């Protein structure tokens, strides 16, 4: 039985006897003690002249000294003191346990006693654990949990948001405050970002690792959409981009469970600290850009990490340098390049869509399900986990095809079930004008297959508007010289397919306006006569 537990029972024995006047048997039953122990405690109190009124005002140590020391007798040997701060810090190191620290404490106490020639004795293991538990319970809540060095980093966003001012409108724009806290040392990183979206979230994680100069074993985010694509209490699906970033840095992602704040209590407190020591300090300052705000946050962040702990020695910075940094892994040589992932189906033109641009894959994969990985410079297409195509990313007009010649069929039969003639034949089943527009669309492309998407969309239009109206719209599009899918759809939406159309060649309509210069102007200009100059001189 621990000393703390024993003194609590002795107090209760004295209370029950002198305040409630219970007998020895009832006291023994209530306190789960033997009657002999109850008698012994009461006799000791009687010899020491200790009443319940006195005991209420004394500490455990004072009661113990009154009851268990005989004047003139042998004094008990003193106990070797325990450095609880050392115990608390050492427990964060990998593989360190209370039992190991107790053994080291015993060895140190025996060595110290031998050097001094005193009878100092060490606490037993159970007492050692109880006394450390008392010490830990007296610490702040943010310091109670034992986190292994370099093991976990906790991630969250602040509910209280900073603001910047739009220079043009004067409007206050709310932005996000990202916070990452290391478990063992409480070392903190914070920055402001525009949103919590995937790009901002992953970039914030990267900058946090670079601020630390090393990476932990595990990152514990909340189950926000940028981190978890499929939230689940026990088996969440990590967002592919976030997972790829984690693999690049060699860390594991273990999201906190929904509605379980204790899973990320460390960062909950870290967010509170950031709100009090960063946002509160900036409350009277005005910022017009994200860079200005982050520069101010960086200054206050250094002050926060250098701020001394209240009940432990050192600060976040010193704890990080002595505990977390030695146990964390180094950064990889190259920084992770942000990539977006999406699933796609290979269309009949053997291209897949990425951000509105079309990228080719080998034509043998028609109809296959593939994954598209896009960075700022590259688009990669994977099938079954293997890369099947790599392209330089296009930023041209939407719909721009990017085609590798080797991906195209070698001959007409390689089109399989989708040769250009079949697409034209299908269009002809709707109407002759539809077939003509499809032929023009295919002819306008460097490769006929690049027009398949537009042709198939045009053919599907007939299901909505009917064959007759679609053919009429195509006929009108041909006559106005705009044989495209968009033109046909615009005609149908405005009902212009029902308007009469002249079958003969329409003469061009001449627009007469003072700002429209005719061909005579350019003839004169070629002869060296500038009509504009004459007008100025006449004016």
For the segment 50-67, what is each residue's pLDDT rounded down to a tens digit? 877 888 787 777 777 777
In a domain, 78, yes or no: no
Give the single-character DSSP code of 275: I
Q: Residue 15 — φ and ψ, nearest 5°?
A: -65, -50
Query: Looking at the structure, do residues 180 and 208 belong to the same domain, yes or no?
Result: yes
> String of b and e for 66-105 (b: at least 16 CB within 10 Å)?
bbeeeeeeeeeeeebebebeebbbbbbeeebebeebbeeb
Query: Looking at the structure, do residues 45 and 12 belong to the same domain, yes or no?
Result: yes
In a domain, 13, yes or no: yes
Q: Is the pLDDT of residue 505 over 90?
A: no
Query: Looking at the structure, do residues 159 and 251 belong to the same domain, yes or no?
Result: yes
Is the pTM here over 0.95, yes or no?
A: no
Q: Which residue has the tokens 């932990």?
A: 216
User: Radius of gyration of the chain from Cα atoms?
Assistant: 40
Strand partners of residue 189: 180
Residue that is last in its domain, among 96, 112, 138 = 138
Query: Looking at the structure, do residues 48 and 179 belong to the same domain, yes or no?
Result: no
Can you tell me the distance from the alpha carbon of 14 to that of 8, in angstroms, rounded to the nearest whole number? 10
Spacing of C-alpha 192 from chain mean position? 14
Residue that is last in its domain, among 287, 305, 330 = 330
Q: What is the mean pLDDT of the chain?
A: 79
Query: Looking at the structure, do residues 182 and 116 belong to the same domain, yes or no?
Result: no
Which three-class secondary structure state does DSSP give residue 276? helix
Can you tell me the distance from the alpha carbon of 505 to that of 184, in angstroms, rounded to the nearest whole number? 83
By percentage, how much of the chain surpasses pLDDT 70?
A: 80
Query: Looking at the structure, do residues 484 and 396 belong to the same domain, yes or no?
Result: no
Which of 392, 390, 341, 345 shows the shortest CA–CA distance to 365? 345
In a domain, 493, yes or no: yes
Can you tell me the distance from the alpha carbon of 228 to that of 249, in angstroms, rounded to the nearest whole number? 18
- Total count of domains within the chain: 5
Give just the sign of the alpha carbon dihedral 48, 52, 56, 57. negative
Query: Looking at the structure, do residues 94 and 181 belong to the same domain, yes or no?
Result: no
For the segment 389-411, what is each residue's pLDDT rounded down to a tens digit? 999 988 888 877 888 878 877 65
Can you tell me the distance from the alpha carbon of 84 to that of 111, in angstroms, rounded to the nearest whole number? 19
> String of b and e for 447-476 (b: at least 16 CB within 10 Å)?
bbbbbbbbbbebbebbeebeeebbbbbbbb
Q: Is the pLDDT of residue 295 over 90?
A: yes
Can you tell me the distance from the alpha carbon of 34 to that of 28, in angstroms, rounded to the nearest whole number? 6
- Note down the domain range covering 467: 416-498
Query: Looking at the structure, do residues 24 and 96 belong to the same domain, yes or no?
Result: no
In a domain, 212, yes or no: yes
In a domain, 534, yes or no: no
**Mean pLDDT confidence for 503-527:** 48
Query: Looking at the structure, do residues 97 and 199 belong to the same domain, yes or no?
Result: no
In a domain, 267, yes or no: yes
Q: What was the pLDDT predicted at 508?
A: 45
Helix then strand then coil, % of the chain, to nearest 5: 50, 15, 35
Q: Is the pLDDT of residue 292 over 80?
A: yes
In a domain, 77, yes or no: no
Residue 61, judged by CB atoms within 10 A of its CB (0-12, 13-18, 19+), counts as exposed
Which of 517, 514, 518, 437 shows the shortest CA–CA distance to 470? 437
Q: Residue 314 — φ and ψ, nearest 5°?
A: 85, -165
In a domain, 527, yes or no: no
Which of 204, 115, 122 shows the shortest CA–CA distance to 157? 204
Q: What was the pLDDT predicted at 536?
A: 38
Query: Looking at the structure, do residues 63 and 89 belong to the same domain, yes or no?
Result: no
Query: Looking at the structure, do residues 271 and 344 belong to the same domain, yes or no?
Result: no
Residue that is last in its domain, among 39, 67, 95 = 67
Contacts for 208-213: CB closer than 8 Å, 24+ residues apart: 208/153, 208/155, 208/178, 208/180, 209/249, 209/331, 210/331, 210/335, 212/182, 212/187, 212/320, 212/324, 212/325, 212/328, 213/325, 213/331
Q: Which two tokens stand for residue 301?
A: 């962040």
Query: Looking at the structure, do residues 183 and 303 belong to the same domain, yes or no?
Result: yes
């Amino acid at each position: 039985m621990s000393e703390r537990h024993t003194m609590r029972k002795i107090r209760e024995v004295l209370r029950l006897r002198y305040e409630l006047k219970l007998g020895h048997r009832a006291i023994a039953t209530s306190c789960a003690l033997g009657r002999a122990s109850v008698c012994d405690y009461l006799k000791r109190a009687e010899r020491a002249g200790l009443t319940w009124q006195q005991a209420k005002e004394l500490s455990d140590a004072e009661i113990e000294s009154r009851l268990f020391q005989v004047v003139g007798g042998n004094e008990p040997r003193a106990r070797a003191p325990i450095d609880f701060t050392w115990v608390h810090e050492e427990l964060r190191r990998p593989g360190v346990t209370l039992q190991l620290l107790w053994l080291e404490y015993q060895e140190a106490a025996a060595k110290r006693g031998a050097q001094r020639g005193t009878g100092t004795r060490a606490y037993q293991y159970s007492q050692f654990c109880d006394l450390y538990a008392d010490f830990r319970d007296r610490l702040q809540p943010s310091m109670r949990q034992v986190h292994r060095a370099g093991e976990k980093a906790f991630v969250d966003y602040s509910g209280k948001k900073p603001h910047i001012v739009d220079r043009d409108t004067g409007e206050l724009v709310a932005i996000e405050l990202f916070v990452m806290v290391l478990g063992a040392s409480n070392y903190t990183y914070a920055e402001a970002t525009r949103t919590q979206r995937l790009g901002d979230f992953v970039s914030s994680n990267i900058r946090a690792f670079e601020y630390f100069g090393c990476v932990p074993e595990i990152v514990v985010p909340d189950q926000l959409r940028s981190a978890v694509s499929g939230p689940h209490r026990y088996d969440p699906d990590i967002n592919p981009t976030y997972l790829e970033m984690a693999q690049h840095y060699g860390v594991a992602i273990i999201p906190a469970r929904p509605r379980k704040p204790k899973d990320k209590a460390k960062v909950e407190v870290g967010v509170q600290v950031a709100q009090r020591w960063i946002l509160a300090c900036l409350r009277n300052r005005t910022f017009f850009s994200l860079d200005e705000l982050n520069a101010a946050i960086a200054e206050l962040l250094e002050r926060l990490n250098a701020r001394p702990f209240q009940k432990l020695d050192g600060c976040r910075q010193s704890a990080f340098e002595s505990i977390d940094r030695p146990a964390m892994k180094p950064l990889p040589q190259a920084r992770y390049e942000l990539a977006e992932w999406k699933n796609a189906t290979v269309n009949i033109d053997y291209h897949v869509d990425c951000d509105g641009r079309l990228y080719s894959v080998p034509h043998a994969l028609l109809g296959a399900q593939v994954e598209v990985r896009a960075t700022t410079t590259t688009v990669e297409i994977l099938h079954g986990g293997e890369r099947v195509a790599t392209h330089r990313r296009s930023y041209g007009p939407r719909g721009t095809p990017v085609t590798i010649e080797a991906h195209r069929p070698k001959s007409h039969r390689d089109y399989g079930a989708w040769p250009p003639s079949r697409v034209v034949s299908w269009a002809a089943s709707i109407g002759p004008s539809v077939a003509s527009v499809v032929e023009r669309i295919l002819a306008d492309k460097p490769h006929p297959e690049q027009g398949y998407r537009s042709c198939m969309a045009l053919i599907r239009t007939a299901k909505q508007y009917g064959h007759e109206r679609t053919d009429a719209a195509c006929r009108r599009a041909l006559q106005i010289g705009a044989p495209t899918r968009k033109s046909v759809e615009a005609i149908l939406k405005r009902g212009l397919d029902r308007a009469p159309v002249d079958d003969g060649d329409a003469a061009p309509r001449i627009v007469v306006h003072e700002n429209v210069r005719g061909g005579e102007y350019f003839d004169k200009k070629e002869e060296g006569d500038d009509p504009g100059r004459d007008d100025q001189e006449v004016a």
